[in-house]
Amino acid sequence: METYRHIVQYYETDMMGITHHANYIRWMEEARIDYLSQIGFSYAEMEKMGILVPVVSVGGRYRRPTTFSDDIAIDVAVTEFTGVRLKLSYLMKNKDGKTVFEGTSEHAFLNREGRPARMKTEYPELYAALNDQLVKEE
């Protein structure tokens, strides 16, 4: 999987020149959308298929500040997948390889009616793709 890269924009910083904390959540979304596209399922394609993927929870830990024009590498991993719920982890590093943020997000899979989607039977290709990405604990 290719690492997603984000260049910190001027408007993402505060008066101190530090990236505002809320932007890391936005970068998680950018990286998640890219990650799903890389495994063959863009958000647009999933929506056409009738799959909705709302965020159920999000969390993070800020390790180092970032500033305007920093190049941030964001790695995404599937840490839990039940077919109904998906949990992703995000590791963000600066150009020196130092961790700036660690985050997680949890998502549900719903159909157009807002009910839990039966991923394994209704969307077997997506189910298999996500299951294949699941990080196995050693």
Q: Which of 14, 34, 71, 96 is catalytic?
A: 14
Q: Are strands 85-93 and 55-62 parallel, antiparallel or unpaired?
A: unpaired
Pick the closest to residue 81 from 39, 50, 49 (CA basis): 39
Q: How many residues does the chain have?
A: 138
The token pair that represents 67 in the structure block: 């500033």
Number of neighbouring beta carbons within 10 Å of residue 35: 22
CA distance 79 to 97: 22
Q: Is 14 marked active-site?
A: yes
| Residues carrying an active site annotation | 14
